[in-house]
Amino acid sequence: MRRRRLFQDDDLVEEPLVNLTPLIDVVFVVLISFMLISPILDIDSIQLAHGNQSKKQESLPTETAPLTVFVHPDNTVWMQGKRLSIEQLETTLRTQKNMFPGKVPQVIHDKTASFGTYQSVKNVFERCGFEQIDIVLKPG
């Protein structure tokens, strides 16, 4: 019997190799770009205080404190013990800004209230000329 060759040289098909060098070069250029640009970016951030479980619940500001705005779960806005609309809040904040020009206002926003209400309140603060707002988070 004659031996048969199972594989002949003509039957072997080489798969083309994928050159990854350009891809790796692009990835390194993008990585270096992010590393150089990231310290320059001004990103808004909120620094949260470290909570101690052993401490008793600290008292939150009262509703009579100046420049404290409460947003309740039903999306109502309260300031100085009075329920206010967004327009009334703006006029009240303008007078408060004149009375307390250096005061940083506080917003106590309930976690079940909608984000749109917070955004509206924040926009009112910006229109009234406040540059900073303290967001007070209730421990929950």
pLDDT, mean over the chain: 78
Q: What average pLDDT does the segment 10-15 reach?
A: 66
In a domain, 46, yes or no: no
Q: Tens digit of pLDDT for each residue in 16-49? A: 788 899 999 999 999 999 999 988 877 666 666 6
3-state secondary structure the chain: CCCCCCCCCCCCCCCCCCCCHHHHHHHHHHHHHHHHHCCCCCCCCCCCCCCCCCCCCCCCCCCCCCCEEEECCCCCEEECCEEECHHHHHHHHHHHHHHCCCCCCEEEECCCCCHHHHHHHHHHHHHCCCCCCEEECCCC
Range of the domain at 79: 68-136
Q: Tens digit of pLDDT for each residue in 83-92? A: 988 888 888 8
Is the pTM above the cut of 0.75? no
pLDDT at 64: 46
Q: Which residue has the higher pLDDT, 35 or 3?
A: 35
Provide the domain count of the chain.
1
Q: Tens digit of pLDDT for each residue in 60-74? A: 554 445 688 888 889
Return the CATH number at 106: 3.30.420.270
In a domain, 42, yes or no: no
pLDDT at 102: 80
In a domain, 30, yes or no: no
